[in-house]
Structure 1
């Protein structure tokens, strides 16, 4: 019999309506993104003079899914951007979609997933990664998002399909200075969430920080834990 693990941190939904309460965690999240995407993965296209990885889509429309533990440390996270507004697939990589770029009020683009280096397990799935991925699906269901588009590296389709996510490839693989990429469309479902929980051994408890109202893009989100600002 397998063991069910309890989430080591909770996913906080941060949008324009509540982001002032999350100023410190958001800055730590941008620093972690720089450490991972620029420092570790050598993405020269997003390099900036300051150690914060921020792009044109980190704006008032962005929704951040921040994994924050009870000490206030940022453990992982991701970002959602509404497809009715400018986003990566529509404005930077439209060539990755063989047909029309998916757009709609309930379709959001998923970008910038990361896990704090200390929580990774090289060569094997990490519980932290499972929490972030389950948090993405659970938050999407709470927010009324039924489809996600993503521009990603070529290893992602097989990885997501192993989790039970319904994945559709939108077009060709394209060479990019930071590696070969393609675009996917993902159907958000309770079944995909349940399958992902099972793969990572997570119990059925919510990984979100607080109960949320469905079909709302301005959820009442719990306040972040207080933590000292890192040096």
Structure 2
């Protein structure tokens, strides 16, 4: 099993003050990835931070922190009872309405910094983040995620045992074909993902914020 290059820290309203630097770094990385490289120009801001209306106190950030470097990967989860990207901006991607419930989270803003991405296949860094998402949701007794994503994610997540389900017909966002998915959270999906990426054990940081670097 490979040595994991970083652990994933869970950051929410209760501990965000201890991660101010990392949260700001992740906003700037998001701007580089989504605005500069992917050309999502609607998200451009003069301060170089990619922050949208859903980066509120309700947002939960899972950030991969590498010692001596800081943020190298990340993702965002939002309770579906609150305002979220799927429900507010893309409800047309769910034929029977966007799922809402205490046991369901919305998943957005998944990224890995360019130098840790795989060539022609998903990287270990992506695997760490995916395992961390499943693991976190299991610890919080969540049963599903909803996500608006590019359509290729359906096959990618199916291969990991996540059992994605299309909630409606695909749509378009610029040149991209996008779809609304509901994804299963369960221990079998976590184990399948660990096996796929050769990961043993937890990917979540278990120490205190002051011990992170």
In the superposition, the TM-score normalised over structure 1's length comes to: 0.88
More strand by share: 2
RMSD of aligned C-alpha atoms?
A: 1.4
More helix by share: 2
Q: Determine which of 160, 164, 169 is the counterpart of 2:161.
A: 164
User: Which residue in 2 is equivalent to 1:140?
Assistant: 137
Contact in 2 for aligned 1:72/1:226 (Cα 8 Å): no
Q: Which has the higher contact order (CA 8 A, sep 6+)?
A: 1
Question: Matched residue pairs, number?
Answer: 213
Closer/same/farther in 2, CA of residues 104 and 184 from structure 1, 3 Å limit: same
User: Which residue in 2 is equivalent to 1:122?
Assistant: 119
1-structure distance, mates of 2:178, 2:33: 18
1-structure distance, mates of 2:42, 2:167: 23
2-structure distance, mates of 1:6, 1:37: 29
Closer/same/farther in 2, CA of residues 101 and 29 from structure 1, 3 Å limit: same
Contact in 2 for aligned 1:70/1:225 (Cα 8 Å): no
Contact in 2 for aligned 1:68/1:224 (Cα 8 Å): no
Runs of 4+ in 1 over 6 A off after TM superposition: none
Closer/same/farther in 2, CA of residues 61 and 50 from structure 1, 3 Å limit: same
2-structure distance, mates of 1:224, 1:58: 24
2:25 equivalent to 1:28: yes
- Structure 1 residue 72: deviation in Å? 5.0
- Structure 1 residue 122: deviation in Å? 2.4
In the TM superposition, what whole-angstrom CA distance separates every residue of 1:165-210 from its partner, at most 9, and x where no partner exists? 111100011111262211000010110000001111111x110001
Contiguous gaps of at least 5 residues in structure 1:
211-220
- Structure 1 residue 45: deviation in Å? 2.3
Q: Secondary structure of 1:208's match?
A: coil
2-structure distance, mates of 1:72, 1:176: 33
Contact in 2 for aligned 1:89/1:101 (Cα 8 Å): yes
